[in-house]
Structure 1
Amino acid sequence: MSSWSIAGTLTPEPTTSRADLLAEPVAKALAALPESDRVAVVEIDAELADTAQFCEAYSSPLSASANCVVVAGKRAGEVRYAAALVLATTRADVNGVIKRRLDVRKASFAPMDDAVALTGMAYGGITPIGLPADWPILIDRAVAEAPELVIGSGLRGGKLLVPGPVLAALPGAEVLDGLARAIE
């Protein structure tokens, strides 16, 4: 297990030894991931899962956190889903880049109940690892190039530590320029 400068006050553990901190689809996907040994998990207080609270409580830099959002759009009556992964210091360009990629008239964040039901993950813990196989995983280039990131584990009581290149190599992943916009 590598040394993680972003772990703050937390102790990273191998994902294979702490499946209790992973949503079931995340655990299954990690088991099939060729570079799963480059991913670690940390246990956190579920009440502190929101990114800003997590970073403050555990001394992890906000600039090393990435957020995964589920986006939906309709085309000819068909709902199309995608996941977008952007640095926590930015926001996803839902009605520009994502809308064009999904080829829909309008895109928006998927309703919470739909996102939870479709992913098998907890709201606030949704992560790109273990999403439905037919969903595109849209990854901002800054995320893909980051040496280490904190992302959700599928549950609110854990976080994954992962190199950006491992995320960029996920099945269905597409690295896009301009996916993220500065927060205004």
Structure 2
Amino acid sequence: MLSKAEMKRQHILKCGTAYVLEHNFHALTLDALASYAEISKGGLIYHFPNKNALLKGLADYIFEQYTKQFHDFAAQDPVTKGKWTRALIKASQWDLDNNAKLNVGIMAISMLDPALTNEMSKGYEQIQQQVEKDSLNPVDASIIRLAIDGLYYSELLNMAPLDKNLREKVIKKLTEMTK
């Protein structure tokens, strides 16, 4: 069971995510989030003393959600061969559908302060290791992972992103490659 303080922290992170998705990354301020979350600014500052701490908290929160989805999808997959790679594909699809706008902000701020994404980088390395040991040819699994990265970059950087129909077809093809 979560402590009262941890429940408040989770509330702030959920509200921070929703705020950025509703407004935009640049509109996020401590004052705006405190108002949106219906808490005092002091309550917010107790958990996140400045905007960088909040951004790091949001980055960690988004990656925790992603990692949870990754493990949940793998646990639900009855076919052992390729299940981690399929989980990566499904978790990435879920993330792009739910957090893409927030990921843009996190990516932008990480270019200014790379320390914000150190934990995410370590976590993603662990995911890559799972994919490489997935009873698939590690080169094929890595190609699938890099294709997923390409979907992210085209979406997040607005570099000729695929329309939703084509993106779904690409994801379906990547999934077929895991069988």
Normalised TM-score (structure 2): 0.22
Q: Report which structure shows greater RCO (CA 8 Å, sep ≥6).
A: 1
Structure 1 length as normaliser, TM-score? 0.22
Would you tell me which structure has more strand in proportion to its own residues? 1
- Which structure's residues are more often helix, by fraction? 2
